[in-house]
Structure 1
């Protein structure tokens, strides 16, 4: 489904970003994020966008994103916890895509950078896109995306891991809290 970016206010973009980030933290220990999630995994229901013909100031239906995943029969619950650094890089990319209403691949094509699924290629692309898009983002949103892409969170082990409570608290403090504070109650 194509969504017209002009129909989304800043608050709606931030609210959608909050919902996606909160979903990541709620689902990290389940099969829903195995092997990793990207914007290709996220869907928004048609009902949420039913009033797309209405001007953005009257758009009052909260967007309800959900994650779609095809389970493998051989996958056991809790056996494949996603890599925290990779998950946060992908979250940073999704947040960039939500803010700028374009894909990472379209940016790569525009600047003639290679695309691929490797962490290094996606990190380089995300870092380049983040740097070139920084003036287009609100400061708090830029900080959230930068932290996700660069994975600058406190840990108790030196390596970001989802089972590390210090790490999860840091992600909540520096990603969820700023997004939450910028959402209107109707869009949470």
Structure 2
């Protein structure tokens, strides 16, 4: 039984580990309750402020793969009722800079966190996010992970549009930016499907119970990201790590 004083952290690993953390944060492998940093906090507030990679490429490609591969498993649960975003992905803060980055976080251990107290007495099912909306959110997150800046910072806007088509238009514009030529092919393929290919397709209004949609997500998003990560790792080791 989970008490109201606890919340659960779902760690994005291949083993899909779930751990319980008390309200004071003692369940984390750190001493402070706020010893976590969101992906949003790592990115600059204004576009063009970044100099060099914030998170090493191999960790970013692994993060993208983990987010996409966990999407189908968690979207119909209380974990991510509104989809992924840079405010919902966290990293544990470490006491010293990580050995493969200059950050005070461990980039290899992303997780998401959500309070469960309100669900203990109220277990009514939450409305499921539409597939096209969830995939658009994932596509935007893929762009943000690649460029290491938020959509809001890139377009110098205070808040992201709430309308699906307005948000999709911004994401498509960003995807077509001239700098997108630098994006790795398989990564671009996955982001492109998330952002563009749901419009006008037979899955535009499909639900998550559609097995053909599941197959399409696996084949055009998860598989390319998996191959992309392996390519990055092979390239990294071929030049001496």
Q: Which moved more, 1:76-85 or 1:66-75?
A: 66-75
1:158 positional shift: 6.3
User: Among 142, 147, 170, which residue is 2:188 paired with?
Assistant: 142
1:163 paired to 2:209: yes
Task: Provide the alpha-carbon RMSD of the alignment.
Answer: 3.1
- Alpha carbons 1:21, 1:176 under 8 Å: kept: yes
Q: Deviations over 1:5-41 (max 9, x none)?
A: 6253332221110011112121022111213332211
User: Among 35, 59, 62, which residue is 1:15 paired with?
Assistant: 62
- Alpha carbons 1:35, 1:80 under 8 Å: kept: no
The equivalent of 1:39 in structure 2 is 86
**Is the helix fraction higher in 1 or 2?**
1
- Determine helix, strand or coil for the equivalent of 2:69: helix
The equivalent of 1:64 in structure 2 is 109
User: Among 128, 132, 135, which residue is 1:85 paired with?
Assistant: 132
1:161 positional shift: 1.6
After TM superposition, what 4+ stretches of structure 1 lie above 6 angstroms from structure 2?
155-158
Alignment of 1:50-129 (within 5 A): 51-52=97-98, 54=99, 63-70=108-115, 72-73=118-119, 76=123, 78-109=125-156, 115-129=160-174
1:130 paired to 2:175: yes
- Decide whether aligned partners of structure 1 residues 170 and 78 sit closer, same or farther in structure 2, where only a CA change above 3 A counts: farther
Aligned residues: 177
CA distance in 2, matches of 1:25, 1:50: 34
Q: Deviations over 1:95-132 (max 9, x none)?
A: 111111000000111xx798422212211111111111
Name the structure, 1 or 2, with higher relative contact order (CA <8 Å, separation 6+). 1
For structure 2, the 5+ residue unaligned runs are: 1-36, 44-51, 234-241
Higher Cα Rg: structure 1 or 2?
Answer: 2
TM-score by length of 2: 0.62
**Is the strand fraction higher in 1 or 2?**
2
CA distance in 2, matches of 1:87, 1:50: 35
